[in-house]
Every structure is written in C-alpha cells, then in structure tokens.
Amino acid sequence: MPREIAIYGVLVPGLLPLFLGCLLLMLLVDALIGRYGLHRYVWHPPLFRLALFACLFGLAGLLLLN
C-alpha cells in the first residue's frame, strides 16, 4: 500500500484510510462484544477497547505500510 494517496491532487497519508478502516472494524467488534456480553470478562472496558484499537491500528499500519 502506498505511503501517500493522492485524492484530486491532495496528498493524504496512507494511514488515514487505515485509521478509518480500523474504526469500522472496531464498530463490528463492539457489536459482537455487546451482543454476547463479553465485557463482563474485562476489568476496564474503555481501556480494553482503546488498547484493542491501538493493536488493530498498529498491526494494520505495520503490515500494510511497512
């Protein structure tokens, strides 16, 4: 994946679409978590979600852009 994407001549960092994609993925994960009540097994749900997002985003960035 290119590091920078040109949208109508404007250079956008390749991380931006990855970020948005990860947000969408998080919505999906959240829906699953909510439906099956998995947050009961987690100490601090918001922290868990943020950490999960950081993992997803970091993984996607390292795998696709590196």
Partner 1 sequence: MPVASTKTGLAARRWPVLAEAFAGEGRAWLFVFKTLLALYLAAWLAMWLRLEQPATAMITVGIVMHPHTGMVQAKGFYRAIGTLCGSTFGLVLLCVFPQQRVLFLLCLSLWVALCAGGATLYRNFMAYGFVLAGYTAAIVSLPAVGNPLGVFDSALMRVSEVMLGIVVAGVVSDLVFPDRLRLVLRQSAREHFAHFIDFVRGSTGGGIPREEMEQAHLRFVRAAVQLENLRASVIFEDPEVRARSTRMRLLNQHNMAAATSFQSLHHLINRLQREGRHAEVAALIALYHPIGAALTTAPEDLHDPAVLTPRLRDCAQRLPALEAELRAGLAPGRPQLAFETGATVLRRFLDELCGYAELELALRAHVQRGGVERVHFQRGNDASGAAVAVLRTFLTMTALSAFWIASGWTFGASAMLLATIFSGLFAATPNPLASAFTMLLGYVFGMLGGIVTAFWLLPGSDGFVMLIAATLPLLIIGPWLNAHPEFGSLGGGYAIGIVYILALKNPMVYDPALALNEAIAQLAGVALAAVSFVFVPRVTGSGWQRRRQFRRLREQVVQAASAPLDGLSWRFESVSRDLFHQAIVHTRPGSRQSRELLAWALAVHESGRALIELRQQLYASPVQTDVRAAVDRAIAAVAQLYRHPDPARRQQAEDRVREAIGACAAVPALRPRLYQLLGALRDDESPLATWMSAEEPAHAT
Q: Which residues would be at the binding site for partner 1 (CB under 8 A)? A: 10, 30-31, 33-37, 39-40, 44-47, 49-50
Task: Give me the amino acid identity at 48.
Answer: F
* Closest approach of partner 1 to the CB of residue 56, in Å: 15
The tokens of 35 are what?
Answer: 């439906």
Closer residue to partner 1 (CB): 4 or 30: 30
The minimum distance between CB 63 and partner 1, in angstroms, equals 24
Residue 53: name the closest of 16, 17, 23 by CA: 23
Cβ-contact 14, 65 below 8 angstroms: yes
- Of residues 2 and 46, the one with the C-beta less far from partner 1: 46
